[in-house]
């Protein structure tokens, strides 16, 4: 008697826990303003534990040429003006993102490897389960072309390209789309009152 065929595996599930895009701004790979290689934007290491990602002072550092720059939220009276994430520039220094590639006639981008992995898990899933309000959650706000099953393989290939780019750092390694262009108008940003909760 031959063994029965194994049951097909369950479809790959993605559970959306309501992660916001600002979660991925802890570490952002950008094009260095001095040498054009890969630079890193992180919160300043000399500060206490994070309070609010969109208002925290940041530092840009380039391992290739040694460039360093500092960013702090603008202050207006008792309020701080934070950044608005999204688009192909980092929200703090407005530098082009290092992780960009052409995909499905558009530009696919990510802030760092963690962001790429999160997008790949979502795009590659056959079943997507939402556990949170879609209002601010990153996955609910992705463009339709990235969510489309018809584009799944193309988007996953683009994300694989971004993952490979994350390992490179020389100016010659930069994607042909990672250049300054100011592709999206930005308003001044979120306002945080110093006396209020972070």
pLDDT tens digit sequence for 107-151: 999 999 999 999 999 899 887 777 656 667 888 889 999 999 999
C-alpha span between 188 and 198 (Å, rounded): 19
Evaluate whether 167 touches 113 at the Cβ level (below 8 Å).
Answer: no
The Cα 150–Cα 165 span in angstroms is 25
Q: Is residue 158 part of a domain?
A: yes
Q: Is 7 part of a structural domain of the chain?
A: no
Q: Average model confidence (pLDDT) for the chain?
A: 84
Q: Indicate whether 3 belongs to any domain.
A: no
197 within domain boundaries? no
Tell me if 1 is assigned to some domain. no
**Which 3 state secondary structure label does DSSP give 59?**
strand
What sign has the CA pseudo-torsion 71, 180, 101, 123?
Answer: positive
Q: Quick one: average pLDDT of 180-186?
A: 51
pLDDT at 5 over 60: no
Q: ∠ at Cα 67 (62, 72), nearest 5°?
A: 95
Count of other CB atoms within 10 angstroms of residue 65: 14
Give the chain's domain count: 1
Per the CB < 8 A criterion, the answer to whether 41 and 30 are in contact is yes
Q: How confident is the model at residue 92 (pLDDT cuts 50, 70, 90)?
A: very high
Specify if 53 maps to a domain.
yes
64: confidence class by pLDDT, cuts 50, 70, 90? very high
First to last CA, the chain: 66
The two tokens of residue 57 are 């002072």
pTM: 0.83
User: Is residue 69 within 8 Å of 33, Cβ to Cβ?
Assistant: yes
Q: Is the pLDDT of residue 74 over 80?
A: yes
| Residue 53: domain span | 13-186
Kindly state whether residue 123 falls inside one of the protein's structural domains.
Answer: yes
Residue 5 falls inside a structural domain: no
Least confident of 30-44, 98-112, 122-136: 122-136
Mean pLDDT of 74-96: 90
């Amino acid at each position: 008697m031959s063994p029965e065929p194994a049951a097909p595996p369950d479809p790959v599930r993605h559970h959306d826990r309501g992660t916001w895009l600002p979660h991925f701004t802890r570490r952002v790979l950008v094009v260095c303003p001095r040498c054009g290689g890969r630079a890193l934007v992180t919160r300043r290491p000399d500060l206490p534990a994070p309070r609010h990602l969109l208002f925290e002072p940041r530092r840009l550092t380039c391992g290739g040429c040694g460039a360093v720059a500092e960013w702090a939220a603008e202050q207006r009276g008792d309020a701080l003006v934070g950044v608005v994430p999204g688009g192909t520039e980092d929200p703090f220094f407005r530098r082009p993102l290092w992780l960009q590639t052409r995909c499905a006639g558009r530009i696919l981008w990510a802030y760092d490897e963690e962001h790429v992995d999160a997008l790949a898990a979502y795009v590659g899933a056959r079943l997507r389960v939402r556990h949170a309000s879609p209002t601010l959650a990153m996955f609910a706000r992705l463009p339709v072309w990235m969510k489309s099953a018809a584009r799944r393989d193309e988007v996953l290939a683009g994300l694989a390209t971004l993952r490979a780019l994350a390992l490179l750092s020389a100016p010659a390694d930069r994607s042909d789309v990672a250049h300054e262009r100011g592709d999206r108008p930005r308003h001044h940003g979120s306002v945080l009152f110093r006396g209020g909760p972070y």
